[in-house]
Amino acid sequence: MKQRLPLLLGVFVVMALSNAVVPVLPSLAEGTALQGAIYSAYFFGAMLTVIPAGILSDRIGRVPLLRAGLVLTLLSGALILAISDPVALPAIRAVEGVAAGLFVPAAMSWINLQPDHERMSGNFIAALNLGLVSGLVLSGWLTVPVGVLGGVIVFTTFTAVPLLMTVFVGETAGPGRGRADLLGVGRENFWLYISAIVLVGATGVVTTLYPDFSGESAANLGVQLGLMNVATIVASLTASRFHLAPIPTIRVSAVLMAAAVALSFFTPAAFVFIGGIAGVVMIAQINYLAANPGQQGAIMGLFNASSYAGMTLLPFAAGVVAEVESFSAAFAVTAILAALMAVTIGRCRCYLES
Judge if 165 and 309 occupy the same domain.
no
Query: What is the per-residue pLDDT for 176?
Result: 47
Q: Which of 171, 198, 220 is the last residue of a domain?
A: 171
Q: Which of 114, 140, 171 is the last residue of a domain?
A: 171
Tell me, yes or no, whether 176 lies in a domain. no
CA dihedral of 8, 11, 14, 19, whole degrees rounded to 10: -110
Closest Cα to residue 7, out of 157, 166, 133?
A: 166
pLDDT in tens, 196-209: 999 999 998 887 78
Judge if 129 and 274 occupy the same domain.
no
Give the whole-angstrom CA distance, residue 92 versus residue 303.
25
Query: What is the per-residue pLDDT for 352?
Result: 46
Tell me, yes or no, whether 93 lies in a domain. yes
Judge if 331 and 245 occupy the same domain.
yes
Judge if 188 and 163 occupy the same domain.
no
Query: What is the per-residue pLDDT for 231?
Result: 94
Tell me, yes or no, whether 326 lies in a domain. yes
Judge if 59 and 116 occupy the same domain.
yes
pTM above 0.85, yes or no: no
Give the whole-angstrom CA distance, residue 58 versus residue 175.
9
Judge if 210 and 158 occupy the same domain.
no
Judge if 166 and 221 occupy the same domain.
no
CATH number at residue 328: 1.20.1250.20
Q: Which residues of the chain have pLDDT under 70?
A: 32, 173-180, 211, 216-222, 349-354
Give the whole-angstrom CA distance, residue 297 versus residue 209.
34
Domain extent, residue 215, equals: 181-353
Judge if 4 and 57 occupy the same domain.
yes
Judge if 221 and 248 occupy the same domain.
yes
Query: What is the per-residue pLDDT for 66?
Result: 96
**Taken in order 150, 156, 159, 160, is the CA torsion positive or negative?**
negative
Count of structural domains, the chain: 2
Q: Which of 171, 199, 224 is the last residue of a domain?
A: 171
Got the DSSP string for 253-297? HHHHHHHHHHHHTT-TTHHHHHHHHHHHHHHHHHHHHHT--TTHH
> Is 352 within 8 Å of 287 (Cβ atoms)?
yes
Judge if 124 and 262 occupy the same domain.
no
Judge if 241 and 333 occupy the same domain.
yes
Judge if 324 and 202 occupy the same domain.
yes
Tell me, yes or no, whether 128 lies in a domain. yes
pLDDT in tens, 99-124: 999 999 999 989 988 888 889 999 99
Closest Cα to residue 49, out of 98, 105, 108?
A: 98
